[in-house]
Amino acid sequence: MNYVITKPNRRVRKSNALINAKEKVSLSAMEQKLILFAITELDGENPSKPLQIEFQDFFGQQKLRSSQYRDLRKACKAVASAMVAFEEEDSEGEVVLGHYVPVFAEIVADNNKGELTFEFNQRIMSHITDLKKNFTSYLYRNISDLKSGHAIKIYELLVQGVGHYSHREFRLDELKEILGLTGTKTYQHFGRFRQNVLDKACTEITEKTDIDVSWEIAEKKLRRVTAVRFQMSEKQPMEKVTATEKKTTPPVENKPRQLTLADIDKASPIKSDDFTFESEKHYRLYKRMTELGLSKEQAIKVVNKVGVSRDSGIWVLINELKMGIKDGKIINAKSYTLKLLQEKYGLKL
């Protein structure tokens, strides 16, 4: 097996000021993860000493491809020049005080040893060590599967408020500054920003992390979008849906099969591993469909026919439905959902 077992409970701790700080350049997912992984390695007793991280630990693999070495060197170069901006504004939104701080003092990538050495800038240390208040803590594994750097950053912005409030609003220009996209011409057009940043990030966060996220337009001026609002909530623990066969059923080989409506109806409180959803994502999709008003039988058909991959578009569709319901644009959620499922996937439910 080509994997390395690393610490299962790596925890990222960052001050809220650092999470909300503006990035001068947008960082990729690997670049973000390098910084966050390094934070999880900090020694509480001696946080200032240089950190040594093996390439294998970072990737979670024993055998690495040459492309992974190249990608890691490229990421190290990017984060070595990464800088965050702590800015104070007046009542009219004009910056009156700017403090621009590099994240790292030094990074050394040694291919011969297969080892990275990090040394954080001392001016950053107060934002990642000995935190007593106004900070956010989360498990590194919650973001380890994210492929978008924007998704990681938006996750951090929203997980701050989970359990305290249900939504968070940003001025559009402020959000772009935090994401390091202020000077990116590609995203001056809101349609591209919506598709490549907002939709993509919310879908990936909902699919792969411990929170559900959606977004909506919060404000327009002269038909121009000026603010967006995110809704976020912690996912409920995934209960295991199982069922046993009747005693009269002849013995069968222990092979997985698709879950049926009858299995769900018999699920609790009987415990058995004979029948189960293929993954938590399949169960999550089933739950989302029933929340939208579909019957158990209809929800099972959606899970079996559509699947849970991001390419299917089902998670984007769910986010759009949730926003439409919240905005009051969708009155009958069930009938509207059934209509969209038939139009997009040819499902006659």
Q: Please indicate, yes or no, if residue 252 is contained in any of the structural domains.
A: no
Question: Per-residue pLDDT averaged across 163-178, rounded?
Answer: 91
Residues 70 and 196 in one domain: no
Residues 172 and 277 in one domain: no
Whether residue 148 is predicted with pLDDT greater than 70 in this model: the reply is yes
- Which of 136, 154, 189 lies at the terminal end of a domain, its last residue? 136
Residues 190 and 91 in one domain: no
* Composition of the chain by helix, strand, coil, percent to 5: 40, 20, 40
Question: Per-residue pLDDT averaged across 25-44, rounded?
Answer: 92
Residues 21 and 118 in one domain: yes
Number of other CB atoms surrounding residue 305 within 10 Å: 13
Q: Please indicate, yes or no, if residue 249 is contained in any of the structural domains.
A: no
Residues 89 and 45 in one domain: yes
Report which of 65, 52, 27, 57 is spatially closest to residue 109, judged by C-alpha positions. Answer: 52
95-141 pLDDT per residue, tens: 667 788 999 999 999 988 999 999 999 999 999 998 988 999 999 99
Domain count, the chain: 3
Tokens for 331, please give them.
């009155």
Q: Could you tell me which residues come within 8 angstroms of residue 282 by beta carbon, excluding any fewer than 6 positions away? A: 303, 308
Distance CA 63, CA 269 (A): 44
- Which of 235, 269, 284 lies at the terminal end of a domain, its last residue? 235
Q: Please indicate, yes or no, if residue 290 is contained in any of the structural domains.
A: yes
Residues 1 and 130 in one domain: yes
Report which of 312, 321, 301, 311 is spatially closest to residue 344, judged by C-alpha positions. Answer: 312
For residue 185, the model assigns a pLDDT of 81
Residues 280 and 169 in one domain: no
Q: Please indicate, yes or no, if residue 247 is contained in any of the structural domains.
A: no
Whether residue 310 is predicted with pLDDT greater than 80 in this model: the reply is no
Residues 17 and 92 in one domain: yes
Whether residue 159 is predicted with pLDDT greater than 90 in this model: the reply is yes
Range of the domain at 99: 1-136
- Which of 136, 162, 196 lies at the terminal end of a domain, its last residue? 136
Residues 162 and 75 in one domain: no
pTM passes above 0.75:
no
For residue 249, the model assigns a pLDDT of 44
